[in-house]
Structure 1
Amino acid sequence: MRPLRYAINVTLDGCVHHEAGLPPDEESMRFWTAELERADALLFGRVTYGMMEAAWRRPATGVWPEWMDASQLPFAEAIDTAKKHVVSSTLSGVDWNAELLRGDLRQAVERLRKEPGEGLFVGGVTLPLALADLGLIDEYVFVVQPVLAGHGPTLLAGLRERIRLELVERAEFRSGVMALRFRPTAEHHAVVGGASPS
């Protein structure tokens, strides 16, 4: 089964607004590019899909905009060409190498996870909360910014039940940013699966 990985920037006080952290540098762009390249497909909700498309879709001219520097081009190429699945009940259609996911969220995502491949990447705020509540996220990647934002939205706010995680990898960037990779513990999987933990 393909693992579903959730990755997001988060400030020290839990803010996940896309502009709350440090401006991306070369090291962080390399990290995010590698995360995208580990995935066979990306999973977004309507809002995140719209934001990503506005920022990272290759213009019709085929030429990337002048504001994009050399460190951002590999990320732009990776996200532009990636297969995308968009969860939305309000959009009538999507393009940008994307397809709509409709109906029961658990069934739709479990179907994607059963397809062969290396993994799925989910980004955003609202959709990952729903997926975490359903016990469908296999890996959490929190890119912790050395910033206090003083405002929200905050990481997985409204989660119905506590999720126990174990740290499996840590990387520190020169900027002071830390990338922390976690997986739900066996105890958590046992509870979500309906069995009681030993």
Structure 2
Amino acid sequence: MRKLAFSMNMSLDGYIAAPGNDLGWSVPSDELFQWWSDRVEATGLALYGRKLWETMSSHWPTADQQPGATPAQIEFARRWRNMPKVVFSSTTSAVHWNARLVSGDAVTEIARLKTEDGGPMDIGGATLAAAAMRAGLIDEYTIVTHPVLVGGGTPFFTALDNWVNLNLLETRTFPDGVLLTRYETRR
């Protein structure tokens, strides 16, 4: 059975995007960027909501061809293109770059995907992750907390009907006061 992790950058006050979908506060150090790249390389299947898909697919497919692309950006772009992806959207008509589109019930499809053989799955996008969180499908939370207060925006966590007890698996610090915490869901 595949494990599903929710992994995102988060402000100290709990947001994955500031008002206006501003992500400028989450620019990674070289060390953190390499950590994210290695995570993409290890991901068996990435699950994207529409908004995050639009953000990622508007940049990474050709980022390695841009003037001034660093070796790390070139490597990430290659890894991102090669990583299998599922995009959940009822408004998107087509996806590319090793991705397939699901327009039906996301929770049902994610539950089905978890029963398949394969490497670990990562879920990204606030709305999609919130649905999986409420359904109890997330096995691990990987939170990369940046020392900034953005005051509002898109929250990392959704409102839940029940508590979710967690076990701490890992902590790691990165430059600029960024803290990674990784938790598994206690079943």
Asked whether the two chains share a fold, i.e. TM above 0.5, the reply is: yes
The answer for the alignment partner of 1:90 in structure 2 is 91
Aligned partner of 1:48 among 43, 49, 52: 52
The CA deviation at 1:57 is 0.9
Q: C-alpha deviations, 1:141-170, integer Å up to 9, x for none?
A: 000101111222222233343322121111
The answer for the alignment partner of 2:148 in structure 1 is 147
TM-score, reference length from structure 1: 0.85
Q: Which 5+ residue runs of structure 2 have no aligned equivalent?
A: none
Structure of larger gyration radius: 1
The answer for the alignment partner of 1:190 in structure 2 is none
Q: C-alpha deviations, 1:152-194, integer Å up to 9, x for none?
A: 22222333433221211111112211111011113xxxxxxxx
The CA deviation at 1:121 is 1.1
Preserved contact between residue 25 and residue 71 of structure 1 (Cα < 8 Å)? no
Counterpart residue identity of residue 34, structure 2? R
Structure 1 stretch displaced more, 94-103 or 35-44 = 94-103
Counterpart residue identity of residue 79, structure 1? W
Aligned residues: 183
The answer for the alignment partner of 1:129 in structure 2 is 130
- The root-mean-square deviation of aligned C-alpha atoms, in Å, is 1.7
Matches within 5 A, 1:65-80: 65-80=66-81
More helix by percentage:
2
CA–CA distance in 2 between the matches of 1:19 and 1:48?
Answer: 12
The CA deviation at 1:123 is 1.1
The CA deviation at 1:20 is 4.8
Q: C-alpha deviations, 1:116-140, integer Å up to 9, x for none?
A: 1121111121100000001111111
The CA deviation at 1:67 is 4.6
Q: Give % identity.
A: 33
The answer for the alignment partner of 2:3 in structure 1 is 3
Counterpart residue identity of residue 119, structure 2? E
Q: Which 5+ residue runs of structure 1 have no aligned equivalent?
A: 187-198
Preserved contact between residue 7 and residue 123 of structure 1 (Cα < 8 Å)? yes
Residue 19, structure 1, aligned to residue 20, structure 2: no
Question: What is the DSSP-based 3-state SS (H/G/I as helix, E as strand, rest coil) of the residue aligned with 1:16?
Answer: strand
TM-score, reference length from structure 2: 0.90
The answer for the alignment partner of 1:31 in structure 2 is 35
